[in-house]
Chains A and B, each alone.
Chain A
């Protein structure tokens, strides 16, 4: 406590005592007439959908009456209204089956965040200065419409750019239709963990451009190459439910889980066997497993079908990948490889996963293709206890993912802005934060700064929306109509739907409703492309289509179907039948597994650099939630900050102690953060969680820690345009003493006293 605070508070206390006679200030606020008829103290549960990550878990929101301080018609007052109090998993939902991850619980704080944008804002200061003034919705929409009309008038519709974090379901339709109707370029989708490399590999191997749904619950042997499937990757809650079942849900039967990676991740920590393997050789490892399976005739080579035919040398039994030949390269003994291959083949059903850093190498696509082939060889595709594809109702069009990453579009946008030709003149921003989520070397911040007019629909000011000229704040998810079509996570077809769980707290408007409004004001083609008055009308139309396509046993007409879906949290197919294995024929053009490339000379930059998804902040978009900031990271127990993981021995050599500030420098930038000395990372690796290091992202996240994305090299995954975010080399040096806030103290070794006897 500073002395200044003391004086201030003493003075304030004195003033309060003096003013006490005036009564409780709460009583001086007027009370608005409640809009809802709720019983006090009695909770109702309303279905909703978690929107914080692409998994699309179904939730139940506990709503109770409370007294909220709200502004209505420009006046501050107290309103009795239904308030969301807690989010739980929806037990009926096929994805998460009543369970939830830590991030899902904290979704509540998005709605009640003190720094949520409460009204439309217009920029007053310089770009990025964060100075805005409050305006009305009428003014805001007028401004946007006039900007768009100006483009129409000058026949420059192509110069409207839409930049969104990947949307699904009806929101995606609304946005696409808006772009199509306006005749602008299609929306650019951006998120850091876009998984497009894996989607692309799956498209090539199996004909499905989506992530796999993994039937862990019935699997007996799980090998994961780098995929943090229990933490953040793909559909973590669904996978955790399955994992629990695999481990202890079947009496007398317990599956084995092998994790292969260079740093013990959240998932790797639970593995029965942890195999250290350098970054980039996952594909070789997978193929040497396949070699053993083929060599020892555990499976027939053509069992891999089309997926195998994509791999060079498959038909000859992968002679180049004999474990004895490559054990030095992959850093795993031939005996271990042979044992794992035999175990996996014998235990069956077995499944092999790949994700995260293993696909973020320059050779990530090939690593994924190799794993796909191994899966096919082991007979895991489309089988119980294996993986399956295509359960989603409306899978994203194959072309969207095939062979291109988010980087493709965003880099194009940046290049256009830098060169000035065909550059965007109006940019609409939908929650995407590429300024935070791309390497500084890409120059996204400066390029976006050149766009003459940016309008953001986000609920918060972040690094990207700080550049906006106009902010049209969206409702929070709990205040909105929600829908989702998760592509993985359940073998059933799932279309989630949820009406708003509570009335809006602030003067915000639902983003799709605003787009509909704008389209109607523009008239012409945009209005024709979006024929609905409101978003829920659009949703209802979609559900009518769904009813007609899929039918229903319980609902007799589309109206009832629509109503029941709202009550249940969506619609899902009754059967869990996995689609037929899309293995295909043994044909295709084989690809060699190329060696991974890394940016930076090993002499100057001796360490590999591994940014990883934070269990609490995911890709950084959740760093503004105080619960997430204060929840200790499961592995490091760090709260309210970031850290740089360094192997114990390496740290000793560098003279770095726990908590010392270290500088991590790549050829493209440097950052400082406290060191976390740990035995759970390879000695030649430096790892850092993504999520902190926000310059401008609410009071809880701003100016906290460092952002590892910023120093990444602009390397891309070969044959795609995705960022190879695990392909940078760095050097590390000690700067001085630092500060690291950890909830756990000594956790390096379990002392005898805590061992169970």
Chain B
């Protein structure tokens, strides 16, 4: 019972972080570094991570994957670099505007896009997938693509999605099962380092 109480207190208290950010005074010498920060911003974040729940991303522009793919575009047209390295690029507003300078300029979402560019701002996309820092996963797209893993295997069928949704739950079980089926390494440091 005591153990239970401690575990619970731990779970709740353990992973929060003080909100105060050192003020940006112009006087460097007066500042001192804090001894610690906590692993999470808030108690809520800590609890959410403990139970593995994530908030749904809200995208600033209702980008539709369906339409782009239906028009014959490929994933790698925008997500450049996914076959070369760990991450796929999320295109910047400039990249979108190479086409949308002329295409569908009257649509409300495209107007939003143009407005961002006019203000000199990039689109603040929110992450859909991605691992918690405390999961310490070093995922690398390129070897997976070289091994012929279909994008949909991990991201769901984007032909049916408008804004990207978390269709696949990237749990460790999901990864390990696929690795096992394909005789890929399941050594821990394959992904965790």
Contact = CB atoms under 8 A, between A and B. Distances in A.
A724 B185 CA distance: 64
Nearest to B88: A40
A41 B28 CA distance: 32
Contact of A20 (B44, B86, B117, B140): B44
Contacts of A130: 27, 29
A13 B87 contact: no
Contacts of A746: none
Nearest to A626: B33
B135 interface: no
A41 B86 contact: yes
Nearest to B40: A16
Contact of B121 (A30, A39, A121): A30
B133 interface: no
Contacts of A296: none
Interface string A1-45: 100010011001101110110001001001111100001111000
A113 to B, nearest CB: 9
Given A33-B94, A42-B84, A13 B19 contact: yes
B41 to A, nearest CB: 6
Helix, strand, loop or mixed for chain B's interface? loop
A650 interface: no
Contacts of B126: 27
Interface string B37-56: 01001111100000000000
Contacts of B86: 40-42
Contacts of A16: 16-19, 41-43
Nearest to B80: A39
B19 A39 contact: no
A13 B43 contact: yes
B30 to A, nearest CB: 8
Given A16-B19, A40-B81, A699 B33 contact: yes
B89 A9 contact: no
B5 interface: no
B134 interface: no
A12 B18 contact: yes
Interface string A686-710: 0000000000111100100000000
A30 B124 contact: yes
B10 interface: no
Given A13-B16, A33-B122, A42-B81, A699 B41 contact: no
Interface stretch (A131-139, A257-265, A377-385): A131-139
A523 interface: no
Contact of A12 (B19, B85, B88): B19
B106 interface: no
A31 B28 contact: no
Interface residues of B, number: 38
A39 B85 contact: yes
Contacts of A39: 80-81, 84-85, 89
Contacts of A131: 27
Nearest to A115: B28
Contact of A41 (B38, B42, B44, B85): B85
B144 to A, nearest CB: 13
Contacts of B117: 33
A455 interface: no
Contacts of A77: 121
Given A16-B41, A34-B92, A41-B86, A698 B28 contact: yes
B20 interface: yes
A31 B122 contact: yes
B96 to A, nearest CB: 11
B31 interface: yes
Interface in A86-137: 114-115, 121, 130-134
A696 B43 contact: no
A33 B84 contact: no
Contacts of B44: 17, 20
Contacts of B29: 115, 130, 461, 696-699, 702
A15 B60 CA distance: 27
Interface string B113-144: 00001001111101000000000000010000
B87 A40 contact: yes
A185 B29 CA distance: 34
B154 interface: no
Interface in B1-40: 16-20, 26-29, 31-33, 35, 38
A121 B26 contact: yes
Given A12-B19, A13-B16, A130-B27, A20 B42 contact: yes
A41 B121 CA distance: 22
Contacts of B28: 114-115, 461, 698-699
B81 A12 contact: no
A80 interface: yes
A697 B123 CA distance: 39
Query: Nearest 3 A-B pairs (CB), nearest first?
Result: A115-B28, A16-B19, A39-B81
12 contacts: A13-B16, A13-B19, A16-B43, A17-B16, A24-B41, A33-B92, A33-B121, A34-B92, A39-B85, A40-B89, A130-B27, A702-B29
Interface of B: 16-20, 26-29, 31-33, 35, 38, 41-45, 80-81, 84-89, 92-94, 117, 120-124, 126, 140
